[in-house]
């Protein structure tokens, strides 16, 4: 039986998964464009636009971003920075084109700037790397007018994977987003499109690291009261369904993406438990090797 990568599986389930969707306004100051699986998140600040991730099209600027900016009347706003959550091709391939058009800063961790280039996860993909012009530090805050982007290192999905936190607005209400950069936990038996290439020791370490990152993220969420969970892949946080609902929402009705601290905790706890379960599974494989 043919093994499908998660993406192939999703496309089999939903043939429209990779079709460009109508750009969405998710909050008053947050927009999304791309397809159902990946694309750009656009935060509008009083000092221009800040982007998160860039999808997997090298011409994403023409196909997705520019049409979306025009749709929302944002095409004259300067693009200040493109934050990458991590160094996987489906997050960075559109970034170089945006940099060429706008000259914006491209921000990523040092670990994933290296990972982007050495990782076989990105094999067979056009190596259209963006220049990383801003290496991020754990815990730093970057200010863009009336918005601040907080950087939270959350390794495990990749060695330098990042979470970001920032406020969004819904009428008079302000909410705090935690955008969790990584979702999948990789190891033997869990690797898209082939055998896991990095060896079981690395898989065990990364799975434990992932769990620790979720616990650390929860500490941050508790402290700051994040009440919105976003994943850069919109289908992993039901963002598109909620954004569609939002378009016909009655005044005063709740926003589906505002799930409160407890709602965010559930998303993080689910990943925490999944990563520990896989750490155990990979540890068992490790033990088998050692017993031989
Ligand atoms: Zn990834």
Q: What is the pLDDT of residue 194?
A: 84
40 CA to centre of ligand 1 in angstroms: 15
Strand boundaries in 87-146, DSSP class E: 105-109, 134-136, 141-144
Q: What is the pLDDT of residue 123?
A: 78
85 CA to centre of ligand 1 in angstroms: 8
Local structure of 43: helix, strand or coil = strand
* Whether pLDDT at 87 is above 80: yes
* Whether pLDDT at 9 is above 80: no
Rounded CA gap, 148 and 173, in Å?
17
* Whether pLDDT at 127 is above 80: no
Higher pLDDT, 254 or 70: 70
172 CA to centre of ligand 1 in angstroms: 34
Percent of the chain with pLDDT over 70: 96
2 band by pLDDT with thresholds 50, 70 and 90: very low
pLDDT in tens, 200-222: 999 999 999 999 999 999 999 99
HSE-up (13 A, CA, CB side) for residue 103: 2
Provide the mean pLDDT of the chain. Answer: 92
CATH 1.10.357.10 fits 13-291, yes or no: no
Higher pLDDT, 244 or 204: 204
165 CA to centre of ligand 1 in angstroms: 18
Tokens 């869990």 belong to residue: 190
Q: What is the mean pLDDT of residues 235-262?
A: 88
112 neighbors 84 (Cβ within 8 angstroms)? yes
Cα 221-222-226 angle, rounded to 5 deg: 40
Rounded CA gap, 206 and 137, in Å?
20
Rounded CA gap, 283 and 98, in Å?
42
95 CA to centre of ligand 1 in angstroms: 15
Strand boundaries in 2-130, DSSP class E: 24-27, 30-34, 39-45, 48-52, 79-83, 105-109
86 CA to centre of ligand 1 in angstroms: 7
Please report how the helices 260-291 and 200-224 are oriented relative to each other, as an axis angle in degrees rounded to 10: 160
Rounded CA gap, 144 and 167, in Å?
12
* Whether pLDDT at 1 is above 60: no
* Whether pLDDT at 55 is above 90: yes
* Whether pLDDT at 151 is above 80: yes
Q: What is the pLDDT of residue 150?
A: 98
81 band by pLDDT with thresholds 50, 70 and 90: very high
Element (H, E) at 95: helix 95-102
Q: What is the pLDDT of residue 240?
A: 86
218 CA to centre of ligand 1 in angstroms: 20
126 band by pLDDT with thresholds 50, 70 and 90: low
Residues 6+ apart with CB under 8 A from 147: 29, 43, 45, 46, 50, 166, 167
Written as six digits, the tokens of 29 are: 């100051």
185 band by pLDDT with thresholds 50, 70 and 90: very high
Lowest mean pLDDT of 68-72, 140-144, 253-257, name the range.
253-257
């Amino acid at each position: 039986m043919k093994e499908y990568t998660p993406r192939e599986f999703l496309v089999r389930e939903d043939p429209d998964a990779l079709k460009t969707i109508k750009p969405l306004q998710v909050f008053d100051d947050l927009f999304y464009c791309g397809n159902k699986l990946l694309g750009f998140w656009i935060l509008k600040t009083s000092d221009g636009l800040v982007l998160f991730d860039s999808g997997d099209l090298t011409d994403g600027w023409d196909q997705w971003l520019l049409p979306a900016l025009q749709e929302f009347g944002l095409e004259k706003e300067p693009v200040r920075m493109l934050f990458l959550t991590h160094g996987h091709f489906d997050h960075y391939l559109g970034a170089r084109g945006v940099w060429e058009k706008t000259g914006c800063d491209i921000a990523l961790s040092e670990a994933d700037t290296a990972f982007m280039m050495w990782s076989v996860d990105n094999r067979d993909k056009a190596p259209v790397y963006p220049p990383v012009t801003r290496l991020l530090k754990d815990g730093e805050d970057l200010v863009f007018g009336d918005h601040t982007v907080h950087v939270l290192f959350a390794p495990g999905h990749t060695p330098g994977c990042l979470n970001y936190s920032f406020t969004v607005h819904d009428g008079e209400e302000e909410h705090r987003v935690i955008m969790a950069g990584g979702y999948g936990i990789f190891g033997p038996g869990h690797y898209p499109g082939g055998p896991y290439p990095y060896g079981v020791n690395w898989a065990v370490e990364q799975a434990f690291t992932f769990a620790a990152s979720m616990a650390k993220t929860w500490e941050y969420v508790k402290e700051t009261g994040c009440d919105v969970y976003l994943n850069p892949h919109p289908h992993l946080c039901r963002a598109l369904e909620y954004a569609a609902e939002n378009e016909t929402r009655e005044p005063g009705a709740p926003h589906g993406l505002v799930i409160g601290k407890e709602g965010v905790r559930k998303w993080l706890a689910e990943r925490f438990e999944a990563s520990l379960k896989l750490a155990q599974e990979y540890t068992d494989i490790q033990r088998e090797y050692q017993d031989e």
